Chain A
């Protein structure tokens, strides 16, 4: 095990960096996607409601690995069919899109639940003062909703971090992919996967500790 760490330590750390990069990029886009579809869902416009529901159902109904294959291989193939020859997505681009779409659907549900957990009287009081729906949402409802959402968002963050390993199938050099390479080269499966597992664990446990602290701080002003 020590031999693995000594020989491949820096490569593994680099791969871990790629994992974190992919996680962060995906989360940023997932937040945006989630916010858009959550707002569509809680509003009164029936067409938007339907779009929101269809998106969430569609993405949740497809395994992430299938979504990743579809975006990485399927989309460029489709674009080729309409006559554009040299369109390609890098593994990072395709991976980010797949994860952001997937995570965005769950995020939409988290944000929707958060908004709906805020008492209806808050929106009414704000509207009664003359504020628009948008301003009331932004200044009154969302700041309260975010507090209840934080534990679920942290949870989603961790799930997304773990999900990045699935994207080793499209060849993105993240941590799991690196593990595959190393164990293939050294034939030391036990040691390699133990090291990779511990690396994931350290990051995730650290993150959830930090997140708990943030959560407590946010809740203090209530």
Chain B
């Protein structure tokens, strides 16, 4: 069952870093429950696009509407909207001075969404979900890369977000740890989470995504169902890129 409600609406998004134009007018609509994979060569603006969605980067021009909130409007309380958007980073960015459980509990408790006990229970439930309940009291430095990234996913889920953003979640991992992280992400897909994923894992994209968006040079070149894009790409730039990575 596909729900047809648009949860992310992006119109003519532009982002400059000084003189460098990274996004040159991007428009896309993403539906609730949709899993979108962004592909493209490095420097194509995939990560910047993702970071604009939760305003870690401020758009130079254009409009972004997340679940009815225009985040590009200065009057929008961006902190409120961010509670709705979980983000997972390439380098995990766990808080090294807090235990695994404290990492997960921080936002729910500080933002007064949950009492401490409740947040702890929720945290343990999430850790169980990513298979790490035994590591609740460990510090991030005691975990492997794959474990760190699973904790980071649990942390991002603690606020019950409607959308999850993944910025190359497996790129900093040793090859043998990629699978455990992809498995957790796959479960989120099964749960119907709206997900926007920047990744180079073509196999994963082919298997779980509803739509593949190929970007180059700050704009969308081509998009479609994964089998269309991977089996019958139409644009030369897409064909060239896929030749290199497949």
Interface residues of A (CB under 8 A from B): 119, 121-122, 124-132, 135, 139-140, 143-144, 147, 221-222
Contact = CB atoms under 8 A, between A and B. Distances in A.
B82 A221 contact: no
Contacts of B82: 127-130
A128 B139 contact: no
Interface of B: 54, 56, 79-80, 82-83, 85-87, 89, 91, 93-97, 106-107, 110-111, 139, 141, 152, 155-156, 158-159
Contacts of A125: 87, 89, 93-95, 152
Name A's interface SS. helix
A222 B85 contact: no
A124 B107 contact: no
A37 to B, nearest CB: 24
A129 B155 contact: yes
A122 B95 contact: yes
B135 to A, nearest CB: 16
A65 B85 CA distance: 55
8 contacts: A119-B93, A125-B94, A127-B82, A129-B156, A129-B158, A130-B159, A131-B107, A139-B110
Given A127-B56, A128-B54, A128-B87, 6 more contacts: A125-B87, A129-B83, A129-B107, A135-B110, A147-B97, A222-B139
Contacts of B79: 127, 130-132
B164 to A, nearest CB: 11
Contacts of B83: 129-130
A4 B168 CA distance: 72
B110 A221 contact: no
Contact of A128 (B80, B85, B94, B111): B85
A222 B95 CA distance: 10
B97 A144 contact: yes
B90 to A, nearest CB: 9
B95 A140 contact: yes
A125 B141 CA distance: 17
Given A124-B56, A125-B89, A221-B139, A130 B97 contact: no
Contact of B56 (A128, A135, A144, A222): A128
A130 B93 contact: no
A123 to B, nearest CB: 9
Contact of B93 (A122, A131, A135, A147): A122
Contacts of A135: 110
Contacts of B158: 129
A124 B93 contact: yes
Contacts of B110: 131, 135, 139
